[in-house]
């Protein structure tokens, strides 16, 4: 029974982590999702612990039934939520919190019942010490294994089902251990068998469930889907199989559509690169798809490109998969390019200690929008100060800066943040049909001057039309905004409020 405490604690934490991860995938990658899921779950556990006082008879039978319910409901929770979100997204949030509440109450019942069962063998002082020790050890083991091993190897559905089977295994152990005390032993044994069967079917069919639900959720055929230690990566393609119908999603958020990504990446790269003149050393932060590197390689003067992207699975995918290599023109295999898979913040901090490190002429920052605090730190004064220390005296930084039309204050907050560390800024915007009006900011120690020429073969930008990107109409004009600092990360809250308003209106 003490060993079962370890299992019970591990399973309970897995269901909590699974629910939080699912919420961030399907409701938006935000600290809000994890915070509210954890709060709901912990409160429900408290309710469950309080309710345990009313279970006075047949404690082994109650414990067995609760383990079966936790195993089946918690184990099948992600599969059910994936199916519901694909078939009818509107009830997803209510069902998610309802299941989290139910599982939390059941998990809250477990430990009090275990302690009362073990009172037969241990004194109270020893009992509390033993149970809490095994409980915390189980939580520790899972908290490490969940992001590093379980989700990358098994995925969310199979991870949850596996731990559901462990809960049912504890029920089966209780069935044998208390066989002399249980009434209707055969009925309990049948319930254990049916629970195992249901979970095994879900484990075997996990890929089909995920594929079907994501095909419906993303509308197009899912070419590739994987949960890495950092994010959920999904690549889709239109039913006709055209190269220009490929789309990349990270945690459910569109990163590019092949039909118009050239507009985004040309606008991101060329104003700064052509404005600098003859850049030799270029740094790309983010941009693991290789599209920005593709545009940089159009400049013969470029000698080295250093690309720092957190997720090795993304850079590996876009350097190996044939269709994706066509999109980035094999940029990630260029001998001029070096891929560094690391956290950009930490990599820049480490680079400061390298006295021999050469500065970069142009630094291109192509991160996802600041929808949570882990991304928001990459839009702070602290981060931009690190970037500025790696920039050549006459160099330029360019930052993708969300939509100045939809998230107007967020856009100008990034501008104010760059200016607060002593950089001169030149904001501009471009229309990308998949995103709408999209914003960028060039920053440096010297004023920005429009280039007189651009590389040949561009599909969107041209020297005569380039000045139009720097003209802001009244509905996108500058508004007052404070710098985004690491201590407050106000940008994340502003961004969520502005984009949330758009989603609510739809």
The set of catalytic residues is 366
Task: Give the length of the chain.
Answer: 506
Q: Which of 241, 242, 268 is nearest to 255 (CA)?
A: 268
Cβ count within 10 A of residue 203 = 18
Q: For 269-279, give one letter per residue: b (16+ CB within 10 A) or e.
A: bbbbbbbbeeb
Phi and psi torsions of 476, nearest 5°: -125, 5
Q: Any bridge partners for residue 432, and if so which?
A: 436
Residues contacting 49, CB < 8 A, separation 6+: 108, 109, 111, 112
Q: Which residue is listed with tokens 């508004």?
A: 479
| Largest Cα span, the chain | 89
Residue 365: CA count within 13 A, CB half-sphere: 30
Candidates 107, 80, 109, 110; CA nearest to 96 is 80
**184 Cβ contact partners less than 8 Å away, ≥ 6 residues apart:** none
Contact 72, 164 (CB under 8 A): yes
Number of H helices, E strands in the chain: 17, 11
The per-residue DSSP string of 31-58 comes to HHHHHHHHHHHHHHHHHHHHHGGG--S-
502 φ/ψ angles, rounded to the nearest 5 degrees:
-65, -45
Between CA 253 and CA 263 the distance in angstroms is 18
Distances (CA, A) of 284 to 274, 291, 491: 16, 11, 22
Q: What is the 3-state secondary structure (H, E, C) of 349-413?
A: HHHCCCCCCCCEEEEEEECCCCCCHHHHHHHCHHHHHHHHHCEEEEEEEEEECCCCCCCHHHHHH
SS3 253: strand
DSSP for residue 98? H
Helix pair angle (151-177, 206-218), 10° resolution: 130
């Amino acid at each position: 029974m003490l060993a079962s405490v370890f299992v019970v604690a591990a399973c309970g934490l897995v269901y909590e982590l699974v629910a939080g991860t699912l919420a961030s995938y399907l409701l938006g990658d935000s600290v809000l999702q994890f915070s509210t899921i954890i709060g709901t779950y912990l409160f429900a556990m408290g309710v469950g612990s309080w309710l345990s006082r009313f279970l006075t008879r047949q404690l082994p039978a109650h414990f067995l039934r609760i383990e079966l319910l936790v195993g089946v409901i918690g184990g099948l929770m992600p599969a059910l939520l994936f199916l519901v979100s694909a078939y009818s997204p509107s009830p997803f949030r209510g069902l998610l919190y309802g299941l989290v509440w139910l599982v939390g109450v059941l998990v809250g019942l477990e430990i009090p019942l275990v302690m009362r069962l073990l009172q037969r063998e241990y004194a109270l002082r020893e009992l509390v010490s033993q149970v809490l020790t095994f409980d915390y050890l189980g939580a520790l083991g899972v908290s490490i294994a969940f992001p590093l091993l379980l989700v990358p190897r098994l995925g969310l559905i199979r991870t949850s089902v596996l731990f559901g089977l462990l809960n049912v295994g504890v029920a089966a152990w209780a069935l044998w251990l208390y066989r002399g005390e249980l009434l209707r032993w055969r009925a309990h044994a049948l319930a254990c068998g049916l629970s195992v069967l249901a979970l095994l079917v879900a484990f075997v069919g996990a890929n089909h469930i995920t594929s079907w639900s994501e095909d419906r959720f993303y509308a197009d055929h899912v070419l590739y889907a994987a949960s890495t230690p950092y994010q959920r990566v999904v690549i889709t393609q239109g039913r006709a199989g055209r190269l220009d119908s490929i789309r990349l999603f990270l945690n459910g958020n569109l990163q590019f559509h092949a039909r118009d990504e050239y507009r985004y990446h040309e606008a991101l790269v060329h104003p700064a690169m052509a404005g600098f003149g003859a850049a030799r050393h270029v740094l790309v932060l983010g941009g693991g798809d290789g599209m920005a590197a593709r545009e940089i390689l159009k400049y013969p003067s470029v000698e080295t490109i250093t690309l720092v992207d957190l997720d090795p699975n993304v850079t590996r995918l876009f350097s190996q998969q044939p269709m994706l290599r066509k999109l980035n023109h094999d940029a990630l295999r260029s001998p001029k390019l070096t891929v560094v898979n690391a956290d950009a913040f930490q990599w820049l901090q480490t680079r400061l200690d390298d006295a021999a490190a050469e500065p970069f002429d142009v630094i291109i920052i192509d991160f996802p929008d600041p929808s949570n605090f882990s991304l928001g730190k990459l839009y702070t004064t602290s981060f931009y100060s690190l970037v500025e220390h790696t920039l050549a005296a006459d160099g330029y930084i360019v930052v993708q800066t969300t939509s100045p039309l939809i998230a107007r204050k967020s856009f100008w907050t990034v501008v104010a943040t760059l200016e607060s560390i002593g950089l001169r800024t030149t904001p501009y915007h471009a229309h990308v049909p998949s995103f709408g009006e999209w914003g960028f900011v060039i920053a440096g120690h010297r004023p920005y001057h429009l280039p007189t020429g651009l590389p040949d073969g561009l599909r969107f930008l041209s020297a005569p039309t380039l000045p139009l990107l720097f003209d802001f109409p009244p509905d996108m004009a500058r508004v007052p905004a404070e710098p985004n600092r690491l201590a407050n990360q106000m940008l994340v809250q502003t961004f969520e409020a502005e984009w949330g308003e758009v989603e609510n209106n739809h």
